[in-house]
Amino acid sequence: MTALFLSREPTLEEYWRAIVLFGRNVASYKFALAKSLLEIRPAAGQLLKLEDLAPTYSRHLSQHLQGANKQGTFKSSKFLDACRKSNTGEINASQLIEATVRYGFSNVIDAFHVVGQRETPQRFYIDERKINAGIRITDEFASLLNSSQIVDLPQEVEARWRLVETAWELGITRSLVAVDYDTSTESLVYVDKSRRRGPITGSRDSLNGYQKGRCFYCYSEIHIDPSGPSHPDVDHFFPHILKRITSTISIDGIWNLVLACKDCNRGIGGKFDRVPNLALLERLHRRNEFLISSHHPLREVLMQQTGNSEGARATFLNSTHNQARAVLIHEWAPVQKANPCF
């Protein structure tokens, strides 16, 4: 007779993922430490001194700071300031390592194994800072390195890191699953795991960077200042009316939003409910690929909504275009008003 319920010890991979995915996120140091350990690949029993860990660890933080300046929920950090100064060349490599050893590990070494307010029963290192100025690698970490899933673990840490950055950047503390446009409030909203929605400020700001202050369609100048005459519309590239005929495509998703001048969106000769032509579709694809490849905070959201590879995303856009043409029939192209700049 077999038991109905079996309790099984989590595997080492599961402990590791729990730490990376569900641990506390007051700062991204944990991700940097996880990435560093996977990269350095220390052996079982090895003493990893903080000064030997510091170069890899501070490099990951410095790189992430270039894409997202917010790496924690606290107001200031001597360690992060040192990483920023190293990025701008104000301090050299050995000064960065010195600052990292002094300030960079104070909370992360303790907090790493904490999941749900308790430490995991399996540990990947032992804290020996007091006696040996470093951490001692356990057999469990060495076994993890031999796991068949090891190739995926660095990317998983990276993906999680970016998502957490997104949440901080957008002021979202709960887990983020999508960013959509709310037409009634004309603002971007996040959707979290329990399908709750909340506002994100500055939707125009977050789209404007790529467009360099120009209308997505005609390249005329737009200004984010709401009192000015050239305040842009947040426009659905594939018209919003498609919501009535499809529930599978997230029309309100960030991938489908651009900033458009009022002429293009709803002036004489404006787009209204027509489908932008293939040249514009290609422009949209380029924009989305740029955001994804340039470490944009909404990268994960864009990939969730349109596909995990460039090929999949192109197919998605192409098939959406075909579906839209099938019901809206008419194509549209703008009168170009300035030189193309993206």
Residues near Zn ion, by CB under 5 A: 215, 217-218, 220, 261, 264
Residue 166: count of CB within 10 angstroms of its CB: 21
| Cα torsion through 163, 169, 171, 173, rounded to 10 | 30
The least CB distance from residue 305 to Zn ion, in Å, is: 25
Nearer to Zn ion by Cβ, of 167 and 261: the residue is 261
10 Å CB burial of residue 231 (0-12, 13-18, 19+) is middle
The least CB distance from residue 218 to Zn ion, in Å, is: 3
Nearer to Zn ion by Cβ, of 62 and 220: the residue is 220
Largest CA distance in the chain: 77
Nearer to Zn ion by Cβ, of 60 and 214: the residue is 214
Nearer to Zn ion by Cβ, of 68 and 264: the residue is 264
DSSP 164-231: HHHHHHTT--SPEEEEEEETTTTEEEEEETTS-EEEES-HHHHHHHHHTTB-TTT--B----TTSTTP
Nearer to Zn ion by Cβ, of 49 and 337: the residue is 337
d(CA 14, CA 8): 12
Nearer to Zn ion by Cβ, of 28 and 220: the residue is 220
DSSP 109-130: HHHTTEETTEE-SS-SEEEEHH
d(CA 269, CA 39): 56
- Contact between 56 and 137 under an 8 Å Cβ cutoff? The reply is no
The least CB distance from residue 232 to Zn ion, in Å, is: 8
d(CA 309, CA 283): 17
The least CB distance from residue 222 to Zn ion, in Å, is: 8
The least CB distance from residue 228 to Zn ion, in Å, is: 15
In sequence order, the 6+-apart residues with CB closer than 8 A to the CB of 22 are: 115, 116
The least CB distance from residue 69 to Zn ion, in Å, is: 31
Nearer to Zn ion by Cβ, of 222 and 292: the residue is 222
The least CB distance from residue 257 to Zn ion, in Å, is: 15
Nearer to Zn ion by Cβ, of 218 and 327: the residue is 218
Amino acid type, 305: Q
The least CB distance from residue 181 to Zn ion, in Å, is: 18
Run of H or E including 156: helix 153-169
